[in-house]
């Protein structure tokens, strides 16, 4: 699933290309991806100007001129690309928005597994949309002190906590693994056993990993592509994710893989030792 760096990369690319452009035509090939009134969706979009493209968590928000907004969630395999109108229409392209720049370009939504969706809402109602309202703060908006209070208030294991979109928005399986490796924290470590020093390491690792991933235009480990249809490059810099059985770049131990909170998890058993804690900093 595209996570914060992938979604942010798509948003940054689309900002430069589609802001200010008018939608002239809508072609919908798979109605079930639209999670709002279908008739209104098809009739309202033509003629609207795209005013702003932004991100909240793993969602792409496209603000339109008539006080409408499109909410796009890419699911597991969704792609949102800006392409030439003459480009071949790839299989599993479910929605095409023709843009009124001499009809030279289109915005296309493609999704192999069809877990993603698009929703049209009144812009004034965005804050009340449940999928957005329940999101936690953005990683880059948190100060260190806020992060320490936020994580320290929970008792669950640290990796599932990082994945919880209601706690922090945007982090998924790839970056939770990479963040905890950089911070040298075992993914099963209980959050309430972490000292302020541990939390400081996770906080800085979170910011560093996400910034680096955005700079490399995200991780293409499955179907993710940028708004240009190109692969990201951060997967080449993964330290643990999908590297099970390979030597750790730091210590040489073999990267392990196991389920934590129901999710496949990659870590170094030597750099990220699992220690049982009874209280803050006290080990058994």
Binding positions for DNA are 113
91 belongs to the catalytic site: no
Q: Is 24 helix (H, G, I), strand (E, B) or coil?
A: strand
Query: Residues at the annotated binding site?
Result: 113
Q: Which residue among the candidates 55, 56, 58, 243 is catalytic per the annotation?
A: 58
The label of the residue with tokens 């993964």 reads 238
Q: Which residue among the candidates 3, 6, 8, 178 is catalytic per the annotation?
A: 3
- Return the DSSP state at 139: G
Cβ-Cβ contacts under 8 Å for 247 (sequence gap 6 or more): 253, 254, 255
| C-alpha triplet 1, 63, 49: angle, nearest 5° | 125
Q: In what order do the strands lie in the sheet with 68-73?
A: 50-56, 59-64, 68-73, 117-122
Q: Which residue among the candidates 2, 5, 139, 187 is catalytic per the annotation?
A: 2
- Return the DSSP state at 29: S
Q: Which residue among the candidates 17, 22, 35, 263 is catalytic per the annotation?
A: 263
32 belongs to the catalytic site: no
How far is it, in rounded angstroms, from Cα 209 to Cα 146? 19
263 belongs to the catalytic site: yes
Q: Catalytic residues, which ones?
A: 2-3, 58, 263
């Amino acid at each position: 699933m595209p996570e914060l760096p992938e979604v942010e990369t798509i948003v940054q690319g689309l900002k430069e290309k589609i802001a200010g452009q008018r939608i002239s035509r809508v072609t919908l090939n798979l109605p079930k991806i639209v999670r709002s009134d279908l008739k209104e969706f098809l009739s309202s979009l033509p003629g609207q100007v795209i005013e702003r493209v932004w991100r909240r968590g793993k969602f792409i928000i496209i603000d339109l001129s008539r006080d409408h907004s499109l909410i796009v969630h890419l699911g597991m395999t969704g792609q949102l690309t800006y392409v030439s109108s003459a480009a071949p229409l790839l299989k599993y392209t479910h929605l095409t928005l023709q843009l009124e720049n001499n009809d030279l370009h289109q915005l296309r939504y493609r999704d192999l597994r069809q877990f993603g969706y698009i929703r049209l809402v009144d812009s004034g109602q965005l804050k009340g949309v449940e999928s957005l309202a329940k999101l936690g703060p953005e990683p880059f908006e948190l100060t260190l002190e806020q992060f320490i209070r936020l994580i320290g208030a929970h008792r669950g294991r640290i990796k599932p906590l990082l994945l919880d979109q209601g706690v922090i928005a945007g982090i998924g399986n790839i970056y939770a693994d990479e963040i905890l490796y950089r911070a040298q924290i075992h993914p099963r470590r209980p959050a309430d056993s972490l000292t302020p020093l541990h939390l400081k390491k996770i906080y800085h690792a979170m910011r560093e990993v996400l910034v680096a991933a955005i700079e490399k235009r995200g991780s293409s480990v499955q179907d993710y592509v940028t708004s240009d249809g190109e692969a990201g490059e951060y997967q080449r810099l993964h330290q643990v994710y999908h590297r099970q059985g390979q030597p750790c770049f730091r210590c040489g131990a073999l990267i392990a893989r196991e389920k934590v909170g129901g999710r496949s998890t990659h870590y170094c058993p030597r750099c990220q030792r699992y220690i049982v804690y009874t209280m803050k900093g006290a080990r058994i």
